[in-house]
Amino acid sequence: MHMVINKKHVILASLVLGLGLAVYVNYQFAADDKLMSPASTSVTSEKNYGDAQLVDANDPSVDNADGTAGEAYFAEAKVTRQRTRDESVETLTNMMENAEIDPNIKAEMALKAAELAKSIETEGKIENLIKAKGFTDCMVYYDTDNVDVVVKTEGLEAAQVAQMKDIILKETSIPVENISIVEIN
């Protein structure tokens, strides 16, 4: 069987690569607080709770009496995440509607769309369950290898960290060492 790669295949491959790159860059920007705006970095405290250590809620290095910087972070992160998802869905939809795309590629794109939908559903469910535990706001970034949780709090206790990890472990198959909890004051 002789396969010919034409202009449409190259364009499709470029779009898929671009989509993947956009999702990766968004994930890196959202997960790495070094790349956040200067206003939010002064009030952000990043800690990895792999060992579930206690946190001092009265950290004098954090100056966020009114909580507006934390709220701004969550608002910006939600808008960025939604924009990236919308672009991904639009790109996948446009490619799926193209009648000249190979059926195998369409099947692969359908699988990616299903994975994206499952990821969105899982993130939302974890966020809602964490908020139900008394946290005012949180963001969850979920992929097949990691779960990153950004939570607004005045200080995490070991029991709260354990609750969040328990929720994540029940909703995903991610190993506990690949769960990261970041605190925003």
Q: Residue 57's pLDDT is what? A: 36
50-94, pLDDT tens digit by residue?
A: 444 443 333 444 444 455 667 788 888 888 888 888 888 888 788
Mean pLDDT over each residue of the chain, to the nearest integer: 76
Measured between alpha carbons, how far is residue 151 from residues 20, 73, 124 in Å?
26, 11, 14
Place of tokens 């070094």: 34
Asked if residue 130 lies in contact with residue 162, where contact means CB atoms within 8 angstroms, the answer is no
- Is the pLDDT at 16 greater than 80? The verdict is yes
118-164, pLDDT tens digit by residue?
A: 888 999 999 999 999 988 889 999 988 899 999 988 888 889 999 99
Q: Residue 109's pLDDT is what? A: 81
108-121, pLDDT tens digit by residue?
A: 888 888 888 888 89
Q: Residue 163's pLDDT is what? A: 92
71: its two tokens: 């709220």
| Domain chopping of the chain, boundaries | 7-184
Return the axis-axis angle of helices 7-31 and 68-97, rounded to nearest 10°.
Answer: 170
- Is the pLDDT at 27 greater than 50? The verdict is yes
pTM: 0.58
Q: Residue 36's pLDDT is what? A: 45
CATH 3.20.190.10 matches 7-184: no
Asked if residue 173 lies in contact with residue 166, where contact means CB atoms within 8 angstroms, the answer is no
